[in-house]
Amino acid sequence: MSQETRTLSPFTASEPAEPSERAEPESAPETAVEPGAEVSVSGPEAEAELPEDRFLDRERSWLAFNERVLELAEDPTTPLLERTHFLSIFASNLDEFFMVRVAGLKRRIATGVATRSVTGQAPREVLGTIWTRAREQMTRHAACYQQTVAPELAERGIHLLRWRDLTEQEQIQLFSLFRKKIFPVLTPLAVDPAHPFPYISGLSLNLAVVVRNPASGHRHFARVKVPPLLSRFLEASPQRYVPVEDVIAAHLEELFRGMEVLAHHVFRVTRNEDLEVEEDDAENLLQALEKELLRRRFGPPVRLEVEESIDDEVLDLLIRELKIRREEVFCLPGPLDLTGLKSIAALDRPELKYPKFVAGTHRDLAEVESASAPDIFAALRTRDVLLHHPYDSFSTSVQAFLEQAAADPDVLAIKQTLYRTSGDSPIVDALIDAAESGKQVLVLVEIKARFDEHANIKWARKLEEAGCHVVYGLVGLKTHCKLSLVVRQEGEDLRRYAHVGTGNYHPKTARFYEDIGLLTADPAVGADLSDLFNRLSGYSRRDNYRRLLVAPRSLRDGLVTRVRREIEHHRAGRPAFVRIKVNSIVDETVIDALYRASQAGVPVDIWVRGICAVRPGVPGLSENIRVRSVLGRFLEHSRVYTFGNGGENEVWLGSADLMHRNLDRRIEVLVRVADPAHRSSITRLLATGTADSTASWHLGPDGAWTRHAVDAEGKPLRNVQETLIESRRKRRVTAA
C-alpha cells in the first residue's frame, strides 16, 4: 500500500477528488505567499464599503455557544449520564463567563473606558442583553435538571434527592457523617454590630441562617460556608445522593445551640476573577502574579445566585451587604451550583454513557511485530506523522516522543512550551529527568494561563529546582503556542525533531479534547523552532520563518494574504476555497477579508466551536459563507486553515484562534503542512465537518443557531466524531 493511501483521512470526499499535489519549496519565508505571488485586491470588491452591521455580537455569540451545550443536555438521544455531564459543563462555562467577560465589561464601564461594541451597542445595552439571555438560560438549565434529567436518572436507579426525601435510616447515617466529618470544619459567622458581614468567597456555597434568641426574642443573621473540599453530593445509600448543603441545613441546631433556627437559604456569589498584572513594572513576574492571585480572591461580585424560596428580608440584606444590583440576582430552584453534577456523571454506569473508546497508537508509530515501544526518532526520519487526538493516542505519540528524548543519551537538548498540563504530568517528569541526566532543557511556562496560574507557578519552581532553564516568554505577551524541539547527535551531525500542535501538553484532557499535531524531523521546521525559541528566551528579533506563521507579527497578515490570493485564483478559473476550523472567530480584519472573498465568489466554510462574529448568508456580503458548529462527546479544539490555492492545497495548523488576544497579545504559531497526503486528509476532514450531510448547528445571518441532526426523512445525519472513532476501530482490526 502506498504511503499516500496509508495516511489519508477515513472520509471520502463529498466533492470531486482534488488534483494531484506536488511538494512546495521549503526555503521561502512564510511572511509572503510565494515569490511574486503577493496580491492586492482590485476591482469593485476593494472599493465597496462593507455594511456597518456586518458583525455579530461577541457576548451573545458566546451565550449561544453555551446554549448549544444545553441543547445536548436536553437531547433525549444523548446518553443519560452524558446529559448530566453537559449540565455540569454548562454551569461551569457560565461561571467563567461571569468571572471574566461580565466582570471585565463592568470594570470598563465603572472606569469609563468602555466603548461601543462592533455591533454598535452601548456597553450598558450589552450588559442588559447578557442579564436577559443568561437568566433565560439558567432557568432553562434548572428546568432540564429538575423536570427531565433527575427524574430519568431516578428511573435508572440513580436518585438525586433532597433531605426531606430520605428515609429515616438514611438521615440517621448522614447525621453520623455530619458529626464526624462535617461539623468539625464548619464555622458559623454571626452578623451584628460586633461582627461585620463576612467576606463571601467566589463560587462558594453558603447558607444564610436566621436565628432567634429565645430569651430576648431578637432575631439574628449568620452565615455558614459549605466547606469546598466536601463532596458536592453525599451518598445516603447506594445510588441515592443528597446535596451536602441539605445535610448541613438539617443540623443547624448543632451549630447554634440554645437558639431557634427560623430559616435558612442557600446562596452563591460569583466574583471578578480576571487577572491584571502590570508586567512592565514588575521586577519579578512570578511574585507579581502571586500577589495578583491573592487580590483576585477579593474581586467585586458580579452575580448572586439564590434559591427562589429565599425571604425578601434576607435577600435585601445580601444585596445591601454584597453591594450588588437587583438585575445581578438570579433566583433559581435548588440545588444551586450544578457544576457538582460532574461527580454523578462519573459514576460507573457504562450503559448510560457513550460507548467506551480507547485511543490506539498511530499506525506510523505502531510496532505491529513487537511489543517494545516504537522508536519515534526512527519513524520521523522516514516520514512526518500527522496526529489526530483523541483518536490517536497522546501517550504513545507526543508523550512517548518526550519520554524517549529524555532517556536517549544522544539527545543534547529539549526545548518546550507549557501552557497547561496535568497535576501529575508525565511531560514535566520527562523534562525533569532530562535535566537531571545532564541535558540542556529550556521550558517556557506560561504562568498567566487563566485559572491555571497556581499550578503553573508550582511547575515552574519544580522545573527550576531540577535544573531546567525556565523562562516566562516575552513581556506583555502570553506564550500560547504548542511546541517541542529535540536536538539529537547523530554521527557527525545534529538532527532536530519537532512537535507542533493545536492542544496543550495535557495527557488527561488529550483523551477528550480533539486536537491535531505534527511530528516532524523536517530541517526547515527544526530551524524555524530554533529561531523562535531563541526569540522567546533571548533577544533575537527574527520575524521571518520558513514554514511558520507567528503572532503577533506575521500571522494575521499571512492569513489575510492567503484569503486574498483565493480571490485571484477564483477570477482566473482555478480551484479556490477557504476552509477554517477554530474555537472562536471575532477578528474584524480577517472577517472582512472573508467577506471580500465571498463577494468575489470564493466559497468559505467555517467550522467553529464557540464564538463567531461572522454574519453568514447575507445577500451581497456573505452568501458564499457557511458557518457550522459541532459539539459532542469530544471538545472540538483544533485550529486548522486550508486554502484551495489553485488546486495545490495549502494547509496550516497550530494554536491560534481568530481573536484579538491571539493575533495581537500572544505568541501563537501555525505550521504549514508539507506532506500532500496530510494536506488532503485535513482538507477532506474540514469538508466533512462543514457538509450538510454532517450533524451540526448552522449559523444564520441573524445570529441564530439551528441544530441539524436528522435529514428530511428523519434519519440521523453523520456524526463526525463517531465516524472517526469507527474508522480507528476498523483500522485496528485490519492491522491485527
Mind telling me the catalytic residues? 480
* DSSP letter for each residue of 279-338: GGG-S-HHHHHHHHHHHHTTPPEEEEEEETT--HHHHHHHHHHHT--GGGEEEEPSPP-G
**Rounded to whole angstroms, how far apart are CA atoms 684 and 690?**
10
In angstroms, rounded to a whole number, what is the distance separating the alpha carbons of residues 481 and 655? 5
Buried-state track 616-650, b at ≥16 Cβ within 10 A, e below 16: bbbeebbebbbbbbbbbbbbbbbbbbbbbbbebbb
**Exposed/middle/buried for residue 473 (C-beta within 10 Å: 0-12, 13-18, 19+):** buried
DSSP 8-state code for residue 148: I
The secondary structure element, H or E, covering residue 417 is strand 411-418
How would you label 262-271 residue by residue, b for 16+ Cβ within 10 Å and e otherwise? ebbbbbbbbb
Alpha helices in 98-166 (DSSP H): 103-111, 123-143, 150-155
Element holding 30 (H helix, E strand): none
Provide the angle, in degrees to the nearest 10, between the axes of the packed helices 720-735 and 676-689: 140
CA–CA gap between residue 488 and residue 240 (Å, rounded): 57
* AA letter at 25: P
Q: What is the DSSP letter of 350?
A: G
| Nearest to 32, CA basis, from 493, 463, 557, 446 | 557
Beta carbons of 566 and 572 less than 8 angstroms apart: no
For the CA atoms of the chain, what is the radius of gyration? 28
SS (H, E, C) 168-201: HHHHHHHHHHHHHHHHHHCCEEEEECCECCCCCC
Centre a 10 Å sphere on the Cβ of residue 492 and count the other Cβ atoms it contains.
5
- CA 128, CA 302: separation in Å to the nearest integer? 13
Q: Which has the closest alpha carbon to 405: 446, 433, 372, 386?
A: 433
Distance CA 3, CA 20 (A): 14
Would you list the DSSP string of 189-245?
A: EEEBTTBPPPP--TT-EEEEEEEE-TTT--EEEEEEEPPTTS-SEEEEETTEEEEHH
8 A C-beta contact, residue 554 and residue 532: no
Distance (Å, whole) CA 432 – CA 396: 19
Helix (H) or strand (E) holding 12: none
Q: Which residues, 6 or more positions from 189, have their beta carbon under 8 angstroms from its beta carbon?
A: 195, 198, 222, 223, 224, 225
| Preceding peptide of 390 cis, ω within 30° | yes
